[in-house]
Structure 1
Amino acid sequence: MKNLIIAEKYNYNVKTYRNMLKHIEKHKFKSKYIIDLCKILYDNDAKSAYKQIDTFSKICESIVSRRNALYPVLNSILMLEYHWTISIERWKTKAGNDFEKWLSIIGELEALCSIANIKYDNPHWSMPEIVTGTSMITAKNMGHPLLGEKRVCNDLNIEEPYQVMLITGSNMSGKSTFMRTVGINVILAYAGAPVCAYQFCCPIMELYSCMRTSDDLGQSISSFYAEILKIKNIVKASKEGKKVLFLLDEIFKGTNSKDRHTGAMILVKQLSRTGNLGFISTHDLELGEMANDKDSKIKNYHFSEYYRDNKIYFDYKLKAGISPTRNALYLMKLAGIEIEENNEGE
């Protein structure tokens, strides 16, 4: 009885898989990888997955007919449930072990279609180059894949000996968006998809991020402690000798300025070992002084804003060096907070 309930419940899903397999088996693929993948859909007797699942679908369809008003009478005479149960068990014995394999192939083809659609929808995106033996990420006209026509593209070049990019800048200037742009394009590259860039080159590394951490009241975890837990995983991976690509957004923002500054300096130096690459955004301009240390692997970049007619504007372009501007007090004034002129100049 349990098998009959399950078969009835998933009848629509089985029909959907049947139709998908029918379409796959009819299509003439040119890719050798997909052709070899589709060969798995046939058993040793050359019977296709579609025909086998079609048999199961018909069994499920007949089981659904139990909702008919005449079913109780017919079942007592013909013992329908007994025959359906035997049919299901026979099908499971013959083809049941292959069902999960068929679903995996459908999933693989769906993933490949999604990647193909990215290129179809964005013909100007380029295929990334995966390099080995060196830690570097270079890109030309790299943009955020989800921003459409509003995106602002930037060039990127991070490699030895400057393996850590420290990004400063005022609020809303584009620091976090730039780091997400790097992370998303790296993931697209690892998936074998085109990237939102004219050119893109990167190695295979373990990607870690610490962005948008928040409180967890259920676990009694503050946003700062949540950030610590994420950073702990990054440090652990680095100590284990793995090649790490890390993205740290507004590092240690949940603690006081002195501890934040000290902790950030120690962490950056620890993660700057050979083989790692990293991007760190911060409002602490003092951290940029680490680039002046002997044998420093840090290079400073920034985003900035400009003002026109008492309005603030951003160009979202990555520039070399420490940010020369700040806009927090200006935004406070826009909110109605009275800022004295002498405080504004401090």
Structure 2
Amino acid sequence: MEIAIASFRKSLPQWCCPSLQSDGAISVEEISHPLMADAIPNDFVLKKGVVLTGANASGKSTFMKAVAINVILAQTINTCVAKNMKMPAIQVMTSMALRDDVLQGESYYMREIKYLKRMLDELKTGEPMLFVIDEILKGTNTGERLVASNAILSYMVQKQGFLLIATHDLELVYALKNRYDTYYFDSQVHEKDIVFPYKIRRGIVGKTNAIDLMELLDFPEEITDQARREVGKR
């Protein structure tokens, strides 16, 4: 086991031993995903709850996985893929990359709410936790998704633990901005290409790129032009 850990450390461009503390925030300097070649490192502080926004493919999910994985690595092999990492001892629960289950007869939405119910049950134990949720309740309609997500996340942030949430619903982000810190990942359009800096920033994303990506894949102009007109009416 020690040889495996030493080999893993040697394979990394940068690593550190975490500083475990009794309480306080999760604070990382130059964190990255251990499986990403040439990963872009990021600095980040999670005091209680954070909502991430950003364009499609901008790096939200990969960053969330990097944080969750490094929290686990810190407490198992005393190794973090970062320059520095400080954190309390915590467990990790995630709701990411879910699928429906044909064999069990469960829809995507049913799988989602079961994962969320497990998290709510864990909150009752009082154990320190990191909850990571990617695109909360995306398996249901917009109206109910917004009000239910707001209710769930407002409830969870009042309890013990940390929350790292990603969403495309800006209405939800603004509803939660007094309870959660906000960060975002950006994208930049350059002629026939979209560039992703993969750097996390404070605040709320100011633009989206869904239609830009459709244009890059040569969708018919009738589709993209109509989509832009409809967006402009909102």
Is 2:146 the counterpart of 1:261? Answer: yes
Is 2:19 the counterpart of 1:113? Answer: no
Aligned partners of 1:205 and 1:243 also within 8 Å: yes
Unaligned runs of 5+ in 2: none
Looking at secondary structure, tell me which structure has more helix per residue. Answer: 1
- When normalised by structure 1's length, the TM-score is 0.63
- Which residue number corresponds to residue 39 of structure 1? none
1:344 CA drift (Å): 4.5
1:300 CA drift (Å): 0.8
1:292 CA drift (Å): 4.4
- Which residue number corresponds to residue 35 of structure 2? 146
1:148 CA drift (Å): 2.2
RMSD: 1.5
Aligned partners of 2:188 and 2:196 also within 8 Å: yes
Cα distance in 2 for residues equivalent to 1:252 and 1:302: 20
- Which residue number corresponds to residue 173 of structure 1? 58
Aligned partners of 1:135 and 1:277 also within 8 Å: no
Deviation >4 Å, runs of 4+: none
- Which residue number corresponds to residue 127 of structure 1? 17
- Distance change (3 Å), C-alpha of 1:165 and 1:320: same
Cα distance in 1 for residues equivalent to 2:19 and 2:159: 22
Structure 1 or 2, whichever has the larger Rg, is 1
Cα distance in 2 for residues equivalent to 1:267 and 1:291: 11
Q: What whole-Å deviation, never above 9, does each CA across 1:185-229 have from its counterpart, x for those lacking one?
A: 111101133211000011111210000100111100112211111
Is 2:171 the counterpart of 1:286? Answer: yes
Identity %: 31
RCO higher in structure (CA 8 A, sep ≥6): 2
Secondary structure of the structure 1 residue equivalent to 2:65: helix
| Equivalences, count | 228
Aligned partners of 2:17 and 2:79 also within 8 Å: yes
- Distance change (3 Å), C-alpha of 1:221 and 1:274: closer
Code of the aligned partner of 2:171? E
Cα distance in 1 for residues equivalent to 2:78 and 2:194: 37
Q: What whole-Å deviation, never above 9, does each CA across 1:283-326 have from its counterpart, x for those lacking one?
A: 00112213444xx2x11111110011221111011011111010
Is 2:107 the counterpart of 1:219? Answer: no
Secondary structure of the structure 2 residue equivalent to 1:319: strand
- Which residue number corresponds to residue 44 of structure 2? 156
Aligned partners of 2:123 and 2:160 also within 8 Å: no
Unaligned runs of 5+ in 1: 1-110
